Amino acid sequence: MGRVSTFLDVGAYLKIAATVAVALLAFGAMASPAWAQDTQLGMQCEPVAGTAGAFVTIKCAVGNGGTTEAEGISFGGVLTTDAKIIGFEAITTQGSCDLVPASPTLYVLGCQLGDLSASEEALVTIKLIASTSGTIDYQMTARADNAPLIKAVGQIVVDPLPPGEDDSGRVLVDHNGKELCLPLAALHGHLKHGDEVIDEEGCADAAGAKNGKQEREGVGASGK
């Protein structure tokens, strides 16, 4: 009888163990984070190459392909370059971004994009101007409070200007409601003061460039 009793006890233990295992699996499924099934954060970065003296851009779209809201999205990364950068900015369709130089060859981007509902996306555009040819490598990451980290890497090639072309390109900007035609070398300082680029391709005519020069002289005299 002792042996039979022992056999029955072992069978009971097996049943209990099986019940516990099923319960643990069910609990694990319930306890798994919501983003595992419902929030699908995605990111795609598209580099647009250019020549020295002109804008090169990186356009990164961060979207929510899931069925629930992606919360507290942060986006950022680093850019390393062997080209001489003379102007840069980062803009976003949602939230805010800061792009700062850590060194002449390293730039750090940080953005807070907020929340994205299902099927929504935010677009971050990074613009840089290099005075020399070279490459710009970037590593970007995005994550949400309820979604895991995702990454994107890439490279932009800054081509040299063709022989004989002027490397003193100009950009049309809005400065306190006035249009200025600036040399590229002066662009970054104006962007820091809140000026906005109107035309990346340059100034419409020589008169615009002349007016821009006069306005710049006035700005310089006022100390801004």
Asked whether the beta carbons of 135 and 158 are under 8 A apart, the reply is yes
Q: How confident is the model at residue 184 (pLDDT cuts 50, 70, 90)?
A: low
Its pTM stands at 0.63
Among 98-102, 148-152, 205-209, which stretch is predicted with the lowest mean pLDDT? 205-209
Cβ-proximal residues to 40 (8 Å cutoff; 6+ apart), any chain: 64, 65, 66, 147
Sequential DSSP letters for 56-124? EEEEEEEEE-SSS-EEEEEEEEEEEESS-EEEEEEEESSSEEEEEEEETTEEEEEEEEEEE-TT-EEEE
Helices (H) and strands (E) in the chain, counts: 3, 13
Angle at CA of residue 145, ends 140 and 147, nearest 5°: 65
Domain limits of the chain?
Answer: 2-32, 36-159, 170-222
Q: How confident is the model at residue 131 (pLDDT cuts 50, 70, 90)?
A: confident
pLDDT at 54: 79
Higher pLDDT, 89 or 13: 89
Higher pLDDT, 155 or 202: 155
Higher pLDDT, 29 or 176: 176
Q: What is the mean pLDDT of the chain?
A: 76
The H-or-E segment that residue 216 falls in is: helix 206-222
Residue 55 tokens read as 């804008």
DSSP β-ladder status, 196-199 and 121-130 = unpaired
Q: What are phi and psi of 192, to 5 degrees?
A: -65, -30
Summarize the confidence of residues 85-94 as an average pLDDT: 92
At the topology level, CATH places domain 36-159 in Immunoglobulin-like (2.60.40)
Q: pLDDT tens for residues 132-159?
A: 999 999 999 999 999 999 999 999 999 9
